[in-house]
Amino acid sequence: MTGRLELRAVRAGYGRLEVLHGVDMVWPSGCVVALVGPNGAGKSTLLRVLAGLVRLRGGEVLLDGRPLDPGPAHRRARDGVTLVPSEGNVFPSLTVADTLRLFADGRPIQPVLDTFPELEAFLERRCDTLSGGERQMVALGRALLRPGRVLMVDEPSTGLSVSARTRAYRALVGLRAPDRVIVVVEQYVDEALAVADLVHVLDRGVVRFAGEPAELVGR
């Protein structure tokens, strides 16, 4: 079947430690997915597997019915898989303006400034001089400018004010498209569930629940 991202019996980890134990998930195009679970559940590892940063130990990942390129991260990016990690998500030596222009690829950066007007005052500053919340806005701005076919955002609310979180989620939901999957890993579970079409609960590297948010709230 086309039009979806599918994980089949995915196993992965670090060194001798296996973190994901045969994970099966199906994410249809056009939906927002909330991936939730306790700390250490394997959520970030799963995103890193999809981005090509952690190699599979078993299973496969398919996009539109075809296995994703098993090569390094830049090949996944070429296939339209975009990850905004929770850490190390900016280029320290670049200014905010240069970072956004790099990802805009000739298009206006104004959509980012409309979402995060706070960045207007920092356009000529290097990213390594920004606060954690300011760096997070720049990282999310990259996603708004180049979301790809599969957009994965790890902890988008980190360091953001309540107002900025609201604007960030509004912008992410605005990226919903018939040929795109948006995956959000979030510490503020209620906010993620409020915008999600599907939710998967991961615990100790195993899927404990898959369904609609209303089903999870009712459990």
Q: pLDDT per residue over 78-97, tens digit each?
A: 888 999 998 889 999 999 99
* Cα angle 92, 166, 164; round to 5: 35
Angle between helices 132-145 and 162-174 (to 10 degrees): 10
pLDDT of residue 50: 94
Measured CA to CA, the distance from residue 202 to residue 149 in angstroms comes to 23
What is the average per-residue pLDDT within 189-218?
91
Edge-to-edge strand order for the sheet containing 4-14?
17-28, 4-14, 58-63, 66-67
Helix extents (H) in 89-131: 96-104, 110-115
Query: Half-sphere exposure (CA, 13 Å, Cβ side) for 86?
Result: 15
**Mean pLDDT, the chain, as a whole number?**
92
Q: What is the pLDDT of residue 183?
A: 96
Bridge partners, residue 7, by sequence: 25, 61
CA distance 106 to 99: 12
What is the bridge-based pairing of β-strands 150-154 and 81-84? parallel
Is residue 2 over pLDDT 60?
A: no
pLDDT digits (tens, 9 = 90+) for 20-79: 999 999 999 999 999 999 999 999 999 999 999 999 999 999 998 899 877 778 888 888
Question: Global pTM?
Answer: 0.92
CB 153 within 8 A of CB 192: no
Structural domains of the chain in order of their starting residue, each with its CATH number = 30-53+71-217 (3.40.50.300)
State the number of CA atoms in the 13 A half-sphere of 55 facing the CB.
Answer: 6
Residue 192, Cβ neighbours under 10 Å: how many?
A: 23
Residue pair 58/7 in contact (Cβ under 8 Å)? The answer is no
Burial of 66 (0-12, 13-18, 19+ CB in 10 A): exposed
